[in-house]
Structure 1
Amino acid sequence: MVKHSKKLLVQSLKLLVSAGIIFWLIQSGKLNFAALKNLLAPGPACLALILVFLNLYFASERWRILIRSQGLPAYSWPVYKLSLIGAFFNFAMPGGVGGDVIKAYYFTRENPGSKVVAVTSVLMDRVLGLFAMLLMALLVMIYDIKHILNIPVLLTLFYIIAGLSFGFLIALSLIFSQKIYANGMLTKIINKLPLSHKFSKLYESMHLYGRDGKRFAQVIFLSFFGQLCSIMFLYLAGTMAGFSAVPLKTYFLVAPLGFMATAIPISPAGIGVGQAAFYFLFNLYTGTESELGPTVITAFQVGIFLVSLLGAFFYLRRKDKIEPAKIEEAG
C-alpha cells in the first residue's frame, strides 16, 4: 500500500511538472498552437506523419538488431508493433520507462525464456541511442565551432557534450572489451559492490552486445537515421510555422541536445521538459527570443502521439493483455 501510494505521488508530481511548464509557456506567449495551423495542410501533414513513422521504425529496427545479436528470432513487423505499443504507453503511463517495460514484457511473452535479453536489449537500446545523440551533437558543434566559441554557454555545453561522449566511449570500450572480460578485471571490481550478483549478470549480458562490430555499427547508423527523420520533421514544422529564416544546421545542433533533455524521466513522454529545453536551446543558438522551440517540439510530440495510437489498437487486440500497472510492478 505504501509502495503504491509513493508511486502514485511520483507520477502525480511528474504530471504537475509537465502541466506547470506548458501552462507557463502558453501564458507567457512562448508556445503558440496557432502557429502550427499550416502544418495541418494535407501535403505537410502527410510528410510529417511519414517522418514520424520512419523515426519510430528506425528505433524499432535498432532494438530488433540488438535482440538478434543475442541469437533470438526477431522480425521487423512484430517488433515494430511492440515498439508502437511502447510509444503509446510512454504517454499513457507517466514515467520515462513505462513504454520500454511494456514492450519488453510482451516480447518475453512471445518468446519464452528471453527475459534477460528483453531487459538488457531495452537498456542497451537506450544507452546506444543516447550515445548516438551525443555523437551527433558533438559532430555538429565541431562543424560550427566558430559560432560555438563566440557564445560562452554554448562553449560550456560543448565541453560537457565532449566529456560525456568520451566517457560513454570509455565505458562501452570497457564493457565490450574481450580482453578485460577474459581476465575478469571488471568482474572483480563489480564483486565488491552492493548487489554484486545483479550487476555481474548485467555486465555479462551487456558484454555480449559488443561481440559483433558490424551489428554495433548498424545500431549507431540506425540511430542517426532516426534522428535525421526527427530533425527533418522539426525543420518542416518550423518552416510551416513561419520560421523559415532559421537554417537547417541549427536544427541539427539543437535537436540532439533537446531530445536528450526529453529523455530525462521527470514528465510523461518529455512533455513540458521538451518545450522548455527547445525554447532555451533555439534562443541560445540563434541569439533571438522566439516561440520556435516549443512550437516544433510540440508538433513532434503530437505526431508521435497520433502514430502511437496504432500501438493502443495493437495492444487492445492482444489476447494476453494485462493491466499495465501490474506489468510495470512485475518489471
Structure 2
Amino acid sequence: MDGQPPHSRSENAAPRPIAAQSTPKRTRLVALAKLALALGLLAWLCTDRLDLRSLTAVSPSPTLGLLAAMLLASMLLPALRWWWLLRIQQIDATPWQAVKLTWSGYLAALILPGAVSGDVAKSYLIVRHCPAHRGRSLSTVLVDRLIGVYSLLLLGALSAAALLATDSVDGQGKTLAWTVVALLAGTTVAATALVAGPWRRIAEPFVPSKWSQAWRDSGRLYWQAKRALAGCLAISLVSSMLTAAAFTVASRVLQEPVAWSSSLSLGPLVVLANCLPITPGGMGVAEAAASELFQQRGSVHGAEMMLLIRVLMATLSLPALLVLLGRRGSSISSTPIDLRPADASPRHGDADADLPNAA
C-alpha cells in the first residue's frame, strides 16, 4: 500500500529456528572443548609423566620395524573382518575395496573424537557406494565395531578375572576389573539381541518402519552365518592381541622392556580408553591411561609407549589420503566402486531400497 515502505526480503523470510542457529555453534564449542581437553592432558603428561626425549632418541632399528609390521597387521585384519561381514550380508566387495574404505576410516579417526568417528566415515562411504542396500551395508559397520570392542573386552575380562581370582588388585584396580567384566556381559547381551531371532523381534518395535524389513533381512543373514561370525571374532582377537603385544615391542624400542603378560593384560584396556569419544582420536586419554596402568607394573614409560604406537599408526594411515584424493587408482570420492549385492535381482518387499538417502 501507498505510504508504507516495502518489506525487504529478509523481513519476509521465515526466521530460522533458534535450535538450528545454535547447533553449529554448539558443535564447534564441543569440538574446541575436546581439543582443549586433549591438549590439557598432553600438557599434564609432559609435566612429569611423558618423557619426549626418549621418543626423540628413537632411531630406525629391526625392533622398530617389527613394531611397525605388527601394527600394520593389526590394522589389516579388521579390514579382512569387515570384508567377511560384507560377504555375509551378500554385498559384493573385493578385499582391496574393504581395505581402502577401512583405511579411510582410520584417517578420519585421527582427527575426529573417538574411534567411532572412523566408523561414521566408513558408514558414509559404504552407503554412498552401495545405495541399493543401505541397511545391510550399515549393519556391517555396526557389527564390525561390536566384534572389535567385544574382542578387546574379552581379552580384558580374561585378564581381570585372573587378577580377581588371585586377589592381585584392590581399590581402583578391582573396580576397573569388575567394570570390564560387566561391560563384557552387556556387550554379549547386545550381540545376542542383534542376531538372535527372538531378541530381534523384541527390538523391532523400536526400529523405524522403513528400516524394519532391512533389520529382519540383515539379522536373518547373520543368524544363518554363526560360524562365519565366530571366524570374524577369531580375526578380531588376533588383531587385538597384536595391538596389545605391540606395547612390549614399543617398550623395547624405548629401552625399557615390559613383560608380555603386562602388555596382553593392560594393552586392551588402553585401547578401550583410546576408543572413548572424549578427545580427537583419543589423544591424551590413552596416554594417561597407559601411564597409570603400566606404572602399576613398574614401568614409567607407559605414555611414551602409547604415543609411539599412535605416531606409527598415524603414519601407516596416511596412504588413505591418496585414495580419498584420487591420486592413485580409482577415486572413492568421485568414482563409485562396485559393491553390488550378490543377489542383485530385487525381491518383493525388500525395504533396503526404501531407506533414506545418505546425503
Q: Is 1:120–1:202's contact at 8 Å kept on the other side of the alignment?
A: no
- For 1:200 and 1:178, locate their aligned partners in 2 and report how far apart those are by CA, in whole Å: 13
Mean Cα deviation higher: 75-84 or 145-154: 145-154
Q: Say if 2:227 is the partner of 1:214.
A: yes
1:224 counterpart residue number: 237
- For 1:295 and 1:202, locate their aligned partners in 2 and report how far apart those are by CA, in whole Å: 45
Pair 1:282–1:263, CA change in 2 (3 A): same
Aligned residue identity for 1:239: R
Deviation by residue 1:52-97 (Cα, 9 ceiling, x = unmatched): 2111101111211111110111221111111111111112344543
**Within-5 A mapping of 1:15-30:** 15-26=35-46, 28-30=47-49
2:177 counterpart residue number: 158
Task: Give the CA deviation at 1:49.
Answer: 1.7
1:35 counterpart residue number: 54
SS in 2 for 1:72: coil
Q: Select the residue among 302, 315, 327 that pairs with 2:324.
A: 315
Aligned residue identity for 1:117: R
1:304 counterpart residue number: 313
Pair 1:262–1:198, CA change in 2 (3 A): farther
1:264 counterpart residue number: 276
Q: Is 1:95–1:267's contact at 8 Å kept on the other side of the alignment?
A: yes
Q: Is 1:134–1:165's contact at 8 Å kept on the other side of the alignment?
A: yes
Q: Say if 2:261 is the partner of 1:241.
A: no
SS in 1 for 2:277: coil
Pair 1:303–1:147, CA change in 2 (3 A): farther
- For 2:96 and 2:331, locate their aligned partners in 1 and report how far apart those are by CA, in whole Å: 18
- For 2:333 and 2:185, locate their aligned partners in 1 and report how far apart those are by CA, in whole Å: 42
Aligned residue identity for 1:175: L
**Which is higher, the Rg of structure 1 or of structure 2?**
2
Task: Give the CA deviation at 1:269.
Answer: 1.2
Question: How well do the aligned residues superpose, as a CA RMSD in angstroms?
Answer: 2.5
Q: Is 1:37–1:241's contact at 8 Å kept on the other side of the alignment?
A: no
Pair 1:165–1:249, CA change in 2 (3 A): same
SS in 2 for 1:74: coil
TM-score, normalising length: structure 2: 0.79
1:276 counterpart residue number: 288
Task: Give the CA deviation at 1:272.
Answer: 0.6
**Within-5 A mapping of 1:146-225:** 147-181=166-200, 184=201, 186-187=202-203, 191=205, 197=209, 204=216, 205-206=218-219, 208-225=221-238
Pair 1:19–1:30, CA change in 2 (3 A): same
Deviation by residue 1:282-309 (Cα, 9 ceiling, x = unmatched): 223x2x4x53221111011101100110
Aligned residue identity for 1:302: V
SS in 2 for 1:134: helix
Deviation by residue 1:189-228 (Cα, 9 ceiling, x = unmatched): x52x5x7547856853456433311111111111111112
Aligned length: 313
Aligned residue identity for 1:11: A
Deviation by residue 1:119-150 (Cα, 9 ceiling, x = unmatched): 22111111121111111111223344455444
Q: Say if 2:307 is the partner of 1:294.
A: no
Aligned residue identity for 1:5: K
1:124 counterpart residue number: 143
Task: Give the CA deviation at 1:173.
Answer: 2.3
1:3 counterpart residue number: 23
- For 2:89 and 2:70, locate their aligned partners in 1 and report how far apart those are by CA, in whole Å: 30
- For 2:180 and 2:294, locate their aligned partners in 1 and report how far apart those are by CA, in whole Å: 17
Aligned residue identity for 2:269: L
Q: Select the residue among 48, 64, 86 that pairs with 1:45.
A: 64
- For 1:11 and 1:228, locate their aligned partners in 2 and report how far apart those are by CA, in whole Å: 32
Identity of aligned residues (%): 23
Task: Give the CA deviation at 1:6.
Answer: 1.9
Task: Give the CA deviation at 1:151.
Answer: 2.6
TM-score, normalising length: structure 1: 0.85
Task: Give the CA deviation at 1:106.
Answer: 2.2
